[in-house]
Amino acid sequence: MIPDVTTAIRGSAAALGLALAIGAAIVFRVGAQARAPAEVASELDIPPIPGNVARALSFGFRSLLADFTLLQAIQLLPARHGDMPPEAAGPIDRRLSRLLEYSVDVDPQFAGAYRFAAAALPHETMDGKVYGALKAVQILEQGLRERPDDWHMGFLLGFLQSYYLRDLPAAGRSMAAAAKQPGAPPFVGLLATRLSAQGGELKLATSLAEAMLAQANEEATRQEWHARVAALHMERDLRTIEDAAQKYRESRGLPPRSVHALVTAGFLPDVPREPHGGHYVIEADGTARSTAAERLRAYGLTQQFEIH
């Protein structure tokens, strides 16, 4: 009996000691929390390890880490409202871009993160200012390098370059890269040639259109690319006429009255044949046009965004 009583007493003492220790810990914790400074929210909810280092240390779980940071970005996006002033939206924009950068640094093949960046980062204000477009372009440029097999990369990058930056030559090149990938819809190639034509990249546009024409199997598609090749030849002629008209004006001090006047004065070797059956005319401001077809244009460039 005595050993049993001794054991019970020792057990009770141990339990009492444990209870006192827990109570003391609670008291100290409450006191420490009361004296602690207010918690400061981290501006960037990303792991402390750089993305490229985390990729090497992820032991095959990099997709999981990339998914996690993308999910954080998706959850963050609703915090930015359309009528939010730039000083309030700025911290959200920076955090959002950093999360998406981290996601594609950890997993450079993560197509979903690139696509989300193109949609989520750029946003416009009522006074014509655009925020996040440059960062989105930077991320999509990486996407095009890492995933050239995914036509969405070049398409989204080309859209950002053309719509926000008004860099039509770069947009045409990005769209052309997208159009050459398997699964790309026909409109991507047509848009690529339109952007390249307006941006002055006629060789790129014509070579792409001719390649698409050679690959087309359906008659309707072949006719569409035949028409695009003709439109590009017309654009080439119009630019040649406009260059000659500019030289004529600089030499004579007045604009040419017709394309024939350019030929007579030696600024053009001959009158180009309009591929649609019409003819070319020169406007008073020196621009040229066809009487049978409209020029290839993707955007009216009167509106310019202020990029921040």
Q: Which pairing describes strands 129-131 and 306-307: parallel, antiparallel, or unpaired?
A: parallel
Around Cβ 279, how many Cβ atoms within 10 Å?
A: 14
Asked if residue 112 lies in contact with residue 136, where contact means CB atoms within 8 angstroms, the answer is no
Residue recorded with tokens 């039509």? 168
Task: Please enumerate in sequence order all residues whose Cβ is within 8 A of that of 213, keeping only pairs 6 or more positions apart, or say none.
Answer: 222, 225, 226, 228, 229
User: What letter would DSSP give residue 38?
Assistant: P
229 bridge partner residues: none
> How far is 245 from 305, CA to CA, in rounded Å?
31
Task: Copy the structure tokens of residue 273.
Answer: 């044949």
Q: CA of 225: how far to CAs of 171, 179, 182, 202, in Å?
A: 20, 13, 18, 15
Q: For 153-182, how does the pLDDT look when each residue is reduced to its tens digit (9 = 90+)?
A: 999 999 999 999 999 999 999 999 999 999
Asked if residue 232 lies in contact with residue 193, where contact means CB atoms within 8 angstroms, the answer is yes
Residue 284 scores a pLDDT above 80? yes
Residue 113 scores a pLDDT above 60? yes
HSE, side-chain direction, 13 A CA sphere, residue 76: 26
pTM for the complete prediction?
Answer: 0.79
More confident call, 46 vs 6: 46
pLDDT at 52: 65
pLDDT at 58: 62
Asked if residue 202 lies in contact with residue 239, where contact means CB atoms within 8 angstroms, the answer is yes
> How far is 207 from 200, CA to CA, in rounded Å?
14
Architecture of the domain whose range is 51-195: Alpha Horseshoe (1.25)
The domain locations on the chain are 51-195, 236-290
Around Cβ 87, how many Cβ atoms within 10 Å?
A: 7
Residue 212 scores a pLDDT above 60? yes
Q: For 215-248, how does the pLDDT look when each residue is reduced to its tens digit (9 = 90+)?
A: 998 999 999 999 999 999 999 999 999 999 999 9
pLDDT at 59: 60
> How far is 21 from 43, CA to CA, in rounded Å?
37
